[in-house]
Amino acid sequence: MDFGSLIGIAIALAGIIGGQLLEGGYVGSLLQSAAFLIVLGGTVGAVMVQSPVRVFVRGIKMAKWVVLPPQFAPQDIIAEILRWSFSARREGLLALEQHADMTSDPFARKGLQLLADGAGPEKLREALEVEIISFEEYHRQAARIWEAAGGYSPTIGILGAVLGLIHVMENLTEPARLGSGIAVAFVATIYGVGLANLVFLPVANKLKALIARQVLAREIVVDGLISIANGENPRMIENRLLGYITDQVPGAVGL
């Protein structure tokens, strides 16, 4: 679990609510169901118009990555590649077929199978890079719905403010009803800007960063498999692959 995301959300909410209380306001004034419905409903509708339903649903499901990110363990990947390399040097490339059957990663399995079937380095790179491009675009399409929501939300908030002011103008002769209309007007703007900058855009950027990490993991696998295909020494492979990890001390991964 990514506790950093949870802490960030808590700090953001604490800052906003704390500031409201310090200025003499109260939390209840920020809770306006009409304003929330206008902003959230309008934003969701606009995003659904922009994106196919399957992409929209996939983007919603990907939101869990913010607190439960997919596994990213480059040191383990490099260690696994070294095992494949030692096995290929001792028993030949056909031995990698056994490793393909044992690995749980479909991407690595495909690469190992291609290598065991005699694919050359260039053909191997070409096939796996197509897989990487498809993987990245597939997930980035889903992440973009949050980026789109961050763009639409402030504008929908302004729309909610205008609707609230219209309601105020319609009830100028009834002072008792002016307060609720003004509240909806201003709170709708807060919801629009707040959701965009505290939820939608941070989620979009977090998802893009997590997708980039998954792409990096696949690039490590591709580089390792091509090195094996070229018959490189396992220790040379290790030293080069460690260059993908900026905080990794060379030589720390080994068997």
Tell me: the pLDDT tens digits for 127-138?
999 999 999 999
d(CA 123, CA 111): 11
Domain boundaries defined on the chain: 1-31, 33-255
Residue predicted with more confidence, 79 or 182: 79
Q: How far is CA 193 from CA 24, 47, 236, in A?
A: 22, 16, 51
Q: Which position has the higher pLDDT, 27 or 222?
A: 222
Decide if 16 contacts 195 (C-beta within 8 A): no
Q: Please write the tens of the pLDDT for every residue from 149-179.
A: 999 999 999 988 888 788 777 777 766 666 6
Asked whether 229 and 121 are in contact (CB, 8 A), the reply is yes
Whole-number pLDDT of residue 179 = 64
- Kindly give, in sequence order, each residue whose CB lies less than 8 Å from that of residue 59, ignoring residues fewer than 6 positions away: 51, 141, 142, 143, 144, 145, 146
Q: Which amino acid is at 26?
A: Y
Give one DSSP letter per residue of 16-49, joined into a string: HHHHHHHTT--GGGG--HHHHHHHHHHHHHHHHH
- In the numeric block, the tokens 């031995």 are attached to 95
- CA torsion 108-112-115-121 (nearest 10°) is 20
Q: Tell me the helices (H) and strands (E) count for the chain, helix number first.
A: 10, 0
Q: Give the percent of the chain with pLDDT over 90.
A: 47
Comparison of pLDDT for 67 and 250, the residue scoring more: 67
Q: Alpha-carbon distance 39 to 42, whole Å?
A: 5
Q: How far apart are CA 118 and CA 102, in angstroms?
A: 19
Average confidence score pLDDT of the chain: 86
User: Using one digit for the tens of pLDDT, what is the confidence trace for 83-139?
Assistant: 999 998 888 888 888 888 888 889 999 999 998 888 888 999 999 999 999 999 999
Helix 121-170 to helix 33-50 angle (10° resolution) is 140
Residue 255: per-residue pLDDT: 41
- Whether pLDDT at 243 is above 90: no
Contact 154, 196 (CB under 8 A): yes
Q: Provide the token pair at 166.
A: 């219209």
Give the pLDDT score at 17. 79
What is the helix, strand, coil percentage profile of the chain, to 5?
A: 85, 0, 15
- Extract the tokens encoding 60: 């919603």
Amino acid identity, residue 81? I
For the ranges 135-144, 203-212, 237-246, the lowest mean pLDDT is seen at 237-246
- Start-to-end CA distance of the chain, whole Å, equals 28
